[in-house]
């Protein structure tokens, strides 16, 4: 998910005013300007004054509640009020406009006036959209009319609101192939603003190569993978991706392709993917020559219920068909499954304890599995199953640009005993890192991670310091399986701790390494007893 560069000129509010000056009013005279021109701003008097204020009258705010405005300005009424009280009342109205009404550049100001009957007038410039200026370069792969169709949601003459503007900004920047900058400028009329939109082309084709040690000992620990993405091949902001992976031993191979495209201008994205996995387990460990293939095809739809800088909520609906062909001692065992998944996912930001970024995921998967040549009842499995997948993470800023705390939960809750292909493993490089991939695979599982991250100062490593991160972590997982085919339910608890380092040069090269030691729970899946377990990934982007 990419974040747009949204710049608000700090002078934009002043530009909206477009007033001819600020002076302290003597007894007011009728204005000579046209009715649409803003009133002249009241400047700070050379000498202090005192007046009795019974109420504030807010002019020009179309969406306001009179009762709410009265409550906001009430603390600044009463006898013997000074200029600062009037300014504070005006600031309170501006805050109300921005926080409660969601105005992006609108503000209140104190106009020249003559106090009458204890009533003080506060004027408002709502900040309406004057025009959209699209600066279009020739090399952008996204078609101009596609971007214009998104911008059409912002209507000239309407108040510029945070939620409306941010949604358009982020939806435009979700288009693959262009990064688009939005800036607020002065409008042609007082009290209006212009929106300046400037796209910049991204690389049409990008690639990635990766070397890691995250594989299983049965199919090969060392793996090599790569991928290529073509951005906006049809000019719609769509993308085609292909990926491949192979273990060094050749016992595991994966290939896949996907396509995703925006549909309409409300934020819908539709996509499809196909993949194939071929595996062969180590012959020394499995003399029966256990091998097989998995072919999967899926389609999905993604819709942003909320799209903004501080809150993103996406709804997801997907369908997947998987076909398994497992072979052992010359015999073939086939099965296939159909899954439908619906869920919500996204992120949000808050200011608690110096600020944090949170991500979340909640989905329900309903599936059906069929064995081509077996009685399902003999396996102890139901032909239909359901499971919930949950996820939450929080990256908490402890000391700005120096120390962070990362916490994550991920889990699965199943309603019945699952086939091995649908289980959740609590051991592996992305869960409890001190254990082999696939350790303690279960119907229901929960994993919690706590990680302290340190960003070193430049005085330690020079400019490279900005690319480094050191961490210490603790992982804990709980798994429950069964009962299955007359066997009792089993439970597993795994935990581990370790150290990690990340070196990442954006859009170029990255190295991720962690060393993890077991704290509780014996490894069973691969029989490995060595410590620490090293998980390493080297990535090169092209």
Distance CA 1, CA 199 (A): 17
pLDDT at residue 14 greater than cutoff 70: no
Q: For residue 235, what pLDDT band results from cuts at 50, 70 and 90?
A: very high
| Dihedral, 21, 23, 25, 30 alpha carbons, nearest 10 | -10
pLDDT at residue 60 greater than cutoff 90: no
Q: Is 446:409 a contact under the CB 8 Å cutoff?
A: yes
Rg of the chain over Cα atoms, rounded to whole angstroms, equals: 30
Q: For residue 374, what pLDDT band results from cuts at 50, 70 and 90?
A: low
Does the bond joining 282 to the residue before it have cis omega, within 30 degrees of 0?
A: no
Q: Say if 3 falls within a structural domain.
A: no
Residues 74-99: tens digit of each pLDDT: 999 999 999 999 999 999 999 999 99
CA distances from 487 to 13, 379, 380, 417, 482 (A): 71, 11, 9, 11, 7
**pLDDT for 447:** 99
Q: Are residues 101 and 21 in the same domain?
A: yes
**Could you tell me the two tokens for 144?**
């101009």
Q: Are residues 379 and 519 in the same domain?
A: yes
CATH number at residue 338: 2.40.160
Residues 181-199: tens digit of each pLDDT: 999 999 999 889 999 999 9
pTM: 0.86
Residues 518-534: tens digit of each pLDDT: 999 988 877 667 889 99
Give residue 165's domain range: 128-201
Q: Say if 2 falls within a structural domain.
A: no
**pLDDT for 526:** 72
**pLDDT for 322:** 98
Q: Are residues 308 and 327 in the same domain?
A: yes
Q: Say if 417 falls within a structural domain.
A: yes
Consecutive H or E run containing 225:
strand 223-231
Residues 238-282: tens digit of each pLDDT: 999 999 999 999 999 999 999 999 999 999 999 999 999 999 998
Q: Are residues 230 and 271 in the same domain?
A: yes
Sequence length of the chain is 542
Q: What residue has token string 């954006």?
A: 506
Q: Are residues 189 and 255 in the same domain?
A: no
CA atoms within 13 A on the CB side of 425: 19
Mean of the pLDDT values across residues 499-523? 96
Q: Are residues 281 and 298 in the same domain?
A: no
Region of 39 on the Ramachandran plot (φ > 0 left; ψ -120 to 50 alpha; else beta): beta
Kindly tell me the sign of the dihedral angle through the C-alpha atoms of 206, 211, 216, 218: positive
Nearest Cα to Cα of residue 25 among 98, 86, 71, 105: 86
pLDDT at residue 514 greater than cutoff 60: yes
Q: What distance, in Å, lies between the first and last C-alpha atoms of the chain? A: 20
Q: Say if 233 falls within a structural domain.
A: yes
CA atoms within 13 A on the CB side of 374: 17
Distance CA 166, CA 172 (A): 10
Q: Are residues 107 and 52 in the same domain?
A: yes
Helices (H), 332-395: 376-379
Most confident of 108-117, 382-391, 480-489: 382-391
Q: Is 322:368 a contact under the CB 8 Å cutoff?
A: no
Encode 282-349 in three state secondary structure: CCCCCCCCCEEEEEEEEEEEEEEEEECCCEEEEEEEEEEEEEEEEEECCEEEEEEEEEEEEEEEEEEE
Mean of the pLDDT values across residues 382-388? 92
Q: Are residues 328 and 426 in the same domain?
A: yes
CA atoms within 13 A on the CB side of 530: 6
Helix (H, G, I), strand (E, B) or coil at 385: strand
Helix (H, G, I), strand (E, B) or coil at 160: coil
**pLDDT for 38:** 63
Q: Say if 6 falls within a structural domain.
A: no
Lowest-pLDDT choice from 26-40, 303-317, 386-400, 482-496: 26-40
Q: For residue 319, what pLDDT band results from cuts at 50, 70 and 90?
A: very high
Q: Is 438:425 a contact under the CB 8 Å cutoff?
A: yes
Helix (H, G, I), strand (E, B) or coil at 228: strand
Does the bond joining 532 to the residue before it have cis omega, within 30 degrees of 0?
A: yes
Nearest Cα to Cα of residue 194 among 149, 129, 148, 259: 129
pLDDT at residue 170 greater than cutoff 80: yes
Q: For residue 40, what pLDDT band results from cuts at 50, 70 and 90?
A: low
DSSP 489: P
Domain count across the chain = 4
Bridge partners (DSSP) listed for residue 169: none
Q: What is the mean pLDDT of the chain?
A: 89
Last residue of a domain, one of 201, 231, 261: 201
């Amino acid at each position: 998910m990419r974040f747009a560069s949204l710049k608000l000129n700090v002078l934009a509010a002043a530009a909206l005013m477009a007033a001819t000056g600020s002076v302290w009013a003597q007894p007011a005279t009728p204005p000579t300007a046209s009715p649409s021109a803003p009133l002249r701003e009241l400047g700070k008097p050379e000498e202090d004054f005192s007046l009795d204020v019974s109420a504030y009258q807010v002019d020009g705010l179309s969406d306001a509640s009179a009762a709410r405005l009265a409550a906001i300005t009430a603390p600044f009424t009463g006898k013997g009020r000074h200029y600062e009280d009037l300014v504070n009342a005006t600031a309170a109205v501006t805050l109300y406009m921005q926080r409660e009404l969601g105005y992006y550049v609108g503000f209140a100001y104190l106009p020249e006036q003559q106090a009458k009957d204890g009533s003080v007038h506060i004027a408002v410039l709502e900040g309406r959209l004057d025009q959209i200026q699209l600066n279009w370069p020739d090399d952008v792969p996204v078609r101009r009319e596609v971007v214009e169709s998104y911008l059409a949601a912002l209507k000239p003459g309407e108040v510029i609101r945070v939620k409306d503007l941010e949604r358009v900004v982020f939806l435009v920047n979700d288009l693959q192939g262009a990064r688009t900058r939005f800036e607020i400028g002065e409008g042609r009329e007082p009290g209006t603003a212009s929106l300046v939109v400037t796209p910049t082309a991204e690389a049409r084709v990008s690639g990635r190569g990766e070397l890691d040690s995250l594989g299983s000992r049965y199919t090969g620990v060392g793996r090599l993978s790569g991928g290529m993405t073509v951005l906006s091949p049809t000019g719609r902001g769509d993308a085609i991706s292909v990926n491949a992976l192979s273990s060094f031993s050749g016992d595991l191979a994966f290939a896949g392709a996907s396509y995703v495209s925006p549909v309409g201008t409300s934020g819908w994205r539709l996509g499809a993917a196909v993949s194939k996995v071929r595996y062969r387990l180590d012959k020394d460990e499995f003399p029966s020559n256990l091998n097989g293939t998995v072919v999967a095809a899926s389609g999905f739809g993604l819709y942003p219920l909320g799209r903004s800088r501080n809150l993103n909520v996406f709804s997801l609906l997907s369908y997947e068909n998987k076909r398994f062909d497992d072979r052992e001692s010359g015999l073939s065992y086939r099965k296939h499954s159909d899954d439908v998944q619906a869920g919500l996912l996204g992120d949000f930001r808050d200011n608690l304890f110096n600020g944090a970024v949170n991500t979340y995921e909640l989905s329900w998967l309903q599936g059906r599995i069929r064995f081509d040549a077996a009685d399902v009842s003999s396996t102890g499995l139901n032909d239909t199953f359901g499971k919930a997948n949950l996820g939450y993470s929080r990256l908490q800023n402890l000391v700005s640009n120096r120390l962070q705390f990362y916490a994550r939960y991920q889990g699965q809750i199943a309603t019945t005993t699952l086939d091995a292909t649908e289980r959740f493993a609590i051991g592996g490089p992305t869960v409890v890192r001190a254990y082999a991939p696939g350790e303690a695979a279960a119907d229901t599982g929960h994993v919690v991670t706590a990680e302290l991250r340190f960003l070193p100062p430049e005085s330690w490593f020079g400019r490279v310091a900005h690319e480094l991160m050191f961490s210490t972590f603790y992982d804990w997982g709980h798994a429950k399986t069964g009962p299955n085919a007359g066997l009792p339910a089993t439970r597993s608890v795994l935990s581990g701790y370790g150290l990690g380092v990340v070196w990442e040069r954006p859009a170029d090269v990255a190295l991720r390494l962690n060393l993890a030691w077991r704290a509780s729970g014996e490894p069973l899946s691969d029989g490995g007893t060595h410590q620490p377990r090293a998980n390493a990934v080297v990535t090169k982007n092209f």
